[in-house]
Chains A and B, each alone.
Chain A
């Protein structure tokens, strides 16, 4: 084999190895970062107003998009579900279909995706810009730990907001399905609620949905603060970090959703 070909093979192998070790290093660093954030939690909670402010920015300001999306997702689910269910004469089960899909999957997942693009990107951009304008370095100069002052409140703000937003999404979705199914199409209201209540289990469905949304909240918030804190301190760096937050968060939500679903609903019809 000519040595030029061998060199090319070795080069690509080296690049592949470098890629793998780079990502592994980043993964390990993010785990260390997560531990540091958790360790800084008591210090951050001593100034509770910082976290409340972040709940306002992540949660309250995401309310409009979450509520409107939830309502429309519920209404569309009702229309599409009714179209299929009525072919089998099972249109009475519309409430079950809508409630189960929202509470188990769509609520946590879609609310998580919206949260990642609405709040996660904003967190990354804010922290990244603070880094680029050397505000974080200035804090360190004043003996203020930016992890406790900037990063941890944003992390917990996201973690607290996420399950509440997911629950609101599901609630508005059920309400939207009620409007379309009962008010517009004319399914019996008693059958809509009654079938829903007999099919939806509190622990198996509602609680598992809440657990999912908490996990997604941790994942999205961690990715957002991590990418922001480790962004290249340039305009380009901040913009690529923001993009990475949205992409990574969305992928993390969908992958985690599969893993959690396997654990939660394995063997459950």
Chain B
């Protein structure tokens, strides 16, 4: 095999090898998210987000309409402010309720949007007013035990 042909093959091999490392870094490891879909942002403040993570899905009627982009703690209100990126074309009414939900007992945590009946729509950067926090299982059990004890004492 001639030397230039050999160089060509080696160059091709090294190029696709580096492309593979880049693919692992960017697409699998998500070093930088690329291929950003067009969309707009909505904010929602929760008292407790439970196990919500970045890039968790945002679902309306069970359909994924966006992803959680940013989670931060508001030191003024002591609430978690979740910024969601909603895919283009999905509009939500101004009285939409956002809640942190879990699919199944061990499933992923996601934000559910329940649409109301308002005629006004939420714009880019708008804050969802009505929110429902994540259900923390320990608190629920504690509440249940407390209610049981209270019911027992009342007899």
Q: A residues near B, CB below 8 A? A: 49, 52-53, 55-56, 59-60, 63, 88-90, 92-93, 99, 103, 160-161, 163-165, 167-168, 170-171, 174, 188, 190-191, 193-198, 200-202, 205-206, 209-210
Contacts and interface: CB of A to CB of B under 8 A. Distances in A.
22 contacts: A49-B6, A55-B13, A55-B14, A56-B13, A60-B13, A89-B103, A92-B108, A164-B21, A167-B17, A168-B17, A170-B28, A171-B20, A171-B23, A174-B24, A190-B57, A191-B108, A194-B57, A194-B67, A196-B28, A206-B25, A206-B29, A209-B24
A198 B33 CA distance: 11
Nearest to B105: A89
B126 interface: no
- Give the interface SS of chain A, mostly helix, strand, loop or mixed: helix
Contacts of A196: 28, 30
A189 B55 CA distance: 14
A164 B55 contact: no
Given A52-B6, A56-B6, A59-B13, 10 more contacts: A49-B7, A99-B28, A103-B28, A164-B16, A171-B23, A197-B28, A198-B30, A198-B53, A202-B30, A206-B24
Contact of A200 (B3, B9, B29, B57): B29
Given A55-B14, A103-B28, A198-B53, A49 B107 contact: no
B9 A194 contact: no
Interface residues on B, range: 35 or more
B27 interface: yes
Nearest to A58: B13
Contacts of A190: 57, 64
Interface of B: 3, 6-7, 9-10, 12-14, 16-18, 20-21, 23-25, 27-31, 33, 53-57, 64, 67, 103-108
Nearest to B107: A89
A59 B10 contact: yes
B24 A171 contact: yes
Contacts of B105: 89
A165 B17 CA distance: 7
Contact of B106 (A90, A188, A201, A209): A90
Given A63-B13, A198-B54, A89 B104 contact: yes
B52 to A, nearest CB: 11
A45 B14 CA distance: 17
A210 B17 CA distance: 12
B29 A202 contact: yes
A188 B33 CA distance: 19
A170 B25 contact: no
A163 B57 CA distance: 34
A195 B29 contact: no
A267 to B, nearest CB: 20
A24 B55 CA distance: 54
Contacts of A49: 3, 6-7
